[in-house]
Structure 1
Amino acid sequence: MLRDYYREVLSIYGYGKGRPFISEVIDVLDEKWDSKYLFIVEAPTGYGKSTITATLALKTYKEDGKLIIALPLRTLLEDQFNKLRKIVDDERVIGKRYMHEHDSPYLIKPITVTTVDTLAMTMFGIAPEDLSKVARRWDDWTGTITGSMGHYLFSWSSVALSDIILDEAHLLTDTTKSLTYLATLIEYMIKNDQKTVLMSATLSKTLKGAISKNLLKYKNKIEWIEFGEKDGEFISERMEKRYEIKLESLNQANKFAKILSWIEEGKENNLNRALVIFNTVADAIEFYKQVEDDNKLLLHSRFSTKEKEEKHKILNSLRNQERYIIVGTQTIEAGIDISSDLLITEVAPASSLIQRFGRFLRYYGEKDGTAYIWYEEPMVKKQNEDKYKVYDASLCASTLEYIEHNVGRINMHIPHGEVGYKKLIDTVYESCDITVDRNKVDDMLLTFVNLGDISHAVELMFKEEGSFIRESISIPVQVDAQQEEPIPIDHSLFNRLLRQNKVAGFICHDGKKVEEIASDIKEKLNDTHFLLKFMFRRNVKAFIIEGMYDRELGLLSDGIWQ
């Protein structure tokens, strides 16, 4: 039956035929859906994993089921949602829930596309719809809630009665915190007799081992479906792609000029579709401003939802053009369906780098191109640094070292074989100290023991500093009270604004008036626990910061250009 749904999806999308490995995945899901509970699917970037999601969405629609499709990044959500609307064009059935999109409150619609963050909060009974109301009644001293506990049973049920698809799952395996939540989610789903499908192009042997070890007692309920070398035509086509990977050491003074020269050199060689990816918003914005080209586009996380939708439309129109320059950050790494013949990327951990190469010579028949991987040597090779820009410094250094020793002997488009990127992934992450915190998994699962109280979940939320997944929470900010919607920034960047005295006040959810923040309170806002309580108890919609919002460049302030 599932194969029939798959054929219908291919027809709707206008695909002549399906991929052999996707067909195999569909058959395995169909055969083992009743006996297995966790399906882990590994397939190369650009292979069409989204058709698996669409097939299961169609199954849910036709068979009156319930499905939550969770993505680690908000930037992936709109594209996924728009694709699924072609399959299920019924707004009563399909919806989305994230940040300022409330189309499916409590993830209640039969098919809901959401972020992993929203899924986590709803799963633990503190859905975004209830969070502020519940958290402001939390008493640190007694560890109880003195007031409304929201609709936590409704939230629990909404997730517990759903199957879940988690795409780009590798983005949840880069820290112990996120991997621990993933392990908790999987165990929770198995205990509730529901199905989970994880999909990724870049799961390392080490991370797969960590997942297997933690779920050892459920090993008979897990199905690993790995690409291997099961599509000879795809592998041959990928092997025919002819491109050189050039490693370049740059510095703060010359990097933008050098990158511009590579773009000009590319044009001379008829490489006119450039994708330039930086590790920080600051560099992306500054470089974009120096690009003198009418056909250019900037993509990063600090745009409003409205601007993101507009940029997505522009991105769709660029697919059919022969010349463009797209500048961005890690928002481009996954789920963005665009290709390039000139890739210029800053070094990043191996899994992120593979995803970026998934936007290079992506489509069938694209054979010729050039790729640059650049780095700022004083920063990436400092032994005492924890971070290279926003990434783990040791992972960046290990990635760089492997590529330096294997230039010309690695294909970033196929996982297996002598030149496959799996060796890169496994080598970089083999000494990675990322594990599942079993004690924390057990603590999280205790949330569901007491059906009469949600206090444990709220306590956990504060203990985890506002996120069960992220190392740092996002803080909503605006440049004035009239701005249509807040823009999330990292807590560390918010602290920088505090130090620079650029936080002018805040506005509440139910008003437009800017409230002042007393100086003694402002000094305490760098503490995450205090900040969370302040936001909940004062009903903060957003903090007002000094800066400006530009529709082309995004949120601008000297303090947050990093």
Structure 2
Amino acid sequence: MIVDAYRKYAKALDLEERPALETALEELEKRGVVVLRAPTGYGKSLFSVAMGLAAYEELWQRGIAKVIHVIPMSSIVEDLYSRALERLTRKGEDADLKQLENALLEKYPRRWVGYQSWAIDADFKDPLYIWSSLVYTTFDSFVLNLYKITPLRAKRAPYESARSAIIRSLVILDEAHLMADPRGGKSLAVFIATIKSLRKLGVPVLIATATISDTVARLIKNAVDDVKIVASTVKECGKGGDVLVHDYGPKGHVDAYLKAIPLEELKNELKSQSFKKALLIFNTVDRAVRAYRMLRGEYNAVLLHGRLTLGDRSEAVMRAKSAEIVVATQVVEAGVDIDSDLLITDIAPFPNLIQRFGRVARREIKRGTAIINIDKNAYEASKAVYGENETEVTSKLLREYTKADKRLEVEWRNPCPEKNTYALLLEEFDRRAYPDIGRRYDVELSLALQTLNDLPTLSREDARNIMEKYCGFVRDAAAVPLIDPECYNNIKKPDEIRRCILLVSSDFLNNKKEYIITNGTIRVVVEALKRVDKMRDQVSNTLCKDRGVNEVSTEEYELPASMLFNAKGEVDCRKALALDYYVAKHIGTRAVVLGVIINKGYVRGEGLI
């Protein structure tokens, strides 16, 4: 049984017993799809390490050759990949990823842990999931591999190699609440299609989350027959129909308050608090950068958000371990292993707040304080990012549980849907915020993806046509790679270029097009494939055979901005998705676009503002 292998290798790795996880595995062998509801800090993240080791050592003989751990954000992929290598090699947190990878090779005869994400500066990349028994991957990349396109640099790789790897795996969809946006739209449609497609392929699927809504859980049950929900709870509580495992003892205590803190008063608020490590979470990059600039002179502070280059982000993640204050956006909301005793967060939808509260009193710290900032600007930022409905529902709900001293009368570590627990408030938020989710669910996209999966006659070209029609599968806007020129001009080796790259949405560029356009042109860095004559006599240097070989070189080209933008001056989604093709056609050779060079706006350590 799978669960026996898990117990064996979890014990070998000194992981704590997790009866709910074991029950989920037992149910998984019976029915194929299981939803695991477990509170933040439960220990879901290291589960895949034991399962991956089991696949590497013995489960491959029983049809599970690998474990694919799917995560919604690149920042979480990096954190979990690092923690997995630390656990397997027994190296400390001070080692960087490449040192950890080398330590893994010293301990095991082959490389069996890998990742797929553009935003990791390491060597064990496995974009098609071929080489590794344990792979950490973003949801975007997983969907591209499942639906016959393959991600980024592996665009021309045989997609059936990736699909065959998926078919022989156990798939973990972790932090599923971030993949299945209950507001509807593309992400929820793709999430449901992915589960249905994996079931048709016979792939066991474990969906793990602390805050998946009841509405989404019902959609999963309607989409796939015989789904079971396994819930980790405290004694004598839970939902009818769930498999309840009473194995959770609340860790740490959080005192939460509602306060209006204008950004200019943030420093005074921090001075009034006693803390060892503070985490400040803002809903927008601009607010996070402004706060960081105010604090960095007096505190050991670090800034983390989604518009940092790979190199700057890697350095920030390392610094965050010892920083006194971590200033961040929602990139630290899930999966990232930060243990703070003070959290100040912009108001956000209730499920997001629960995830943010999971970064307080997480391990060694036993008691912490969380302040939800309801200042006007924080409120407006939440509406801009998450929507007015979700923000207002959350605001009303929080005020209903706020006492005269502004303290929230909520048990933030109790997963039982009982009076004054976060679980009950989560249900109430779900009921008020998403009464009509079924009507917002994009059934057409979901069916198109399932058809791609079901019909072997449909190829990569068919998949790309669907992707261009919907401007991508997962994101609401196309992602465009950019390059920091200061970093690019100082690299010593071609493979260091990736440290200079950041991804931004087309929506951001539509408002900041001057960041990359100069006099109607853009500058791009590409890896170009050229035919080079190599067959020459070593003495006379004369051509001895009419034969050449392909060489890859890194080149910079100035191209018309119309190669990326449309006549309205907006990023054209189809052009962004097929930028390699348009650039290759223009320069006359096969090419992979590494990024568009930024003209202005990027500040080292602060990101693209």
Structures share a fold, TM > 0.5? yes
Alignment of 1:308-323 (within 5 A): 308-318=313-323
- 1:99 aligns with one of 118, 131, 147: 118
**Aligned residue in 2 for 1:411:** 411
Once the two structures are superposed, what CA deviation does each residue of 1:414-469 show, in whole Å capped at 9, x if it has no partner? 2223222122222222242444433332211211303363322111111121x211
| 1:263 and 2:270 correspond | yes
Match of 1:166 in 2: 173
Matched, 1:526 2:571: yes
Distance in 1 of aligned mates of 2:57 and 2:563: 58
Q: 2: distance between equivalents of 1:66 and 1:411?
A: 38
Once the two structures are superposed, residues 165-200 of structure 1 have per-residue CA deviations (whole angstroms, 9 ceiling, x without a partner) of 111111012143111111111111111111011110
CA distance in 2, matches of 1:68, 1:5: 15
Q: Indicate which of 294, 297, 302 corresponds to 1:290.
A: 294
Aligned partners of 1:127 and 1:155 also within 8 Å: yes
Distance in 1 separating the partners of 2:300 and 2:378:
32
The amino acid that maps onto 2:125 is D
The answer to whether residue 129 in structure 2 is matched with residue 120 in structure 1 is no
* Alpha-carbon offset, residue 518 of structure 1: 4.8
Q: 5+ unaligned residues in a row in structure 2: which ranges?
A: 90-103, 236-244, 403-407, 492-496, 529-553, 584-590
Identity fraction in percent: 24
- State the distance in 1 between where 2:254 and 2:77 align: 32
Partner of 2:548: none
1:229-268 maps to which residues of 2 (within 5 A)?
229-230=234-235, 234-235=248-249, 237-238=251-252, 241=253, 243-248=255-260, 255-266=262-273
**CA distance 1:223–1:541, change in 2 (3 Å):** same
Amino acid at match of 2:133: P
Is 1:194 paired with 2:200?
A: no
- Judged with a 3 Å threshold, the aligned counterparts in structure 2 of structure 1 residues 488 and 441 are, in CA distance, closer, same or farther, namely same
The residue that corresponds to 1:141 in the other structure is: none
1:541 aligns with 2:594: yes
> Partner residue of 1:25?
21
Amino acid at match of 2:19: S
Displacement of 1:316 after TM fit?
A: 3.1
**1:520: Cα distance to partner?**
8.8
In structure 2, relative to structure 1, the CA distance for the partners of 1:116 and 1:262 (3 Å cut) is same
Alignment counterpart, residue 513 of structure 2, candidates 498, 520, 525:
498
Q: Deviations over 1:362-418 (max 9, x none)?
A: 225612x3321113437847xxx9x72322221111111100111232122222232
Q: Which residue of 1 aligns with 2:422?
A: 421
The residue that corresponds to 1:489 in the other structure is 504
2:525: which partner in 1?
A: 507
Q: Which residue of 2 aligns with 1:394?
A: 389
- The 2-side partners of 1:500 and 1:507 are apart by 16
- Aligned mates of 1:242, 1:232 — CA distance in 2: 22
Change (3 A) 1:429 1:33: closer
Larger Rg: 2
User: How many residues are matched?
Assistant: 509
Post-superposition CA distance 1:4-34 (Å, at most 9, x none): 6436435534x5x43xxx22321441x3343
Paired position in structure 2 for 1:225 = 230
Aligned to 1:287, what secondary structure does the other structure show? helix
CA distance in 1, matches of 2:514, 2:600: 15
In the alignment, the residues of structure 2 paired with residue 300 and residue 265 of structure 1 have an alpha-carbon distance, to the nearest angstrom, of 26
How much has 1:532 moved relative to structure 2?
2.8
For residues 95 and 272 of structure 1, the distance between their equivalents in structure 2, rounded to whole angstroms, comes to: 34
CA RMSD of aligned residues (A): 2.7
Unaligned runs of 5+ in 1: 134-149, 319-323
Query: Which has the bigger relative contact order, CA under 8 A and spacing at least 6?
Result: 1
Q: Distance in 2 between matches of 1:304 and 1:434?
A: 36
Change (3 A) 1:370 1:159: same
Aligned to 1:516: 559
- Would the alpha carbon gap of residues 388 and 33 (structure 1) be closer, same or farther in structure 2, given more than 3 Å must change? closer
TM-score under structure 2 normalisation? 0.77
Letter in 2 for 1:390: V
Alignment-mate amino acid for residue 308 of structure 2: F
Which residue is 2:482 aligned to?
A: 477
1:213 Cα offset (Å): 2.1
Residues 100, 42 of structure 1: alpha-carbon distance in 2 compared, 3 angstrom cutoff:
closer
Counterpart AA for 1:287: A
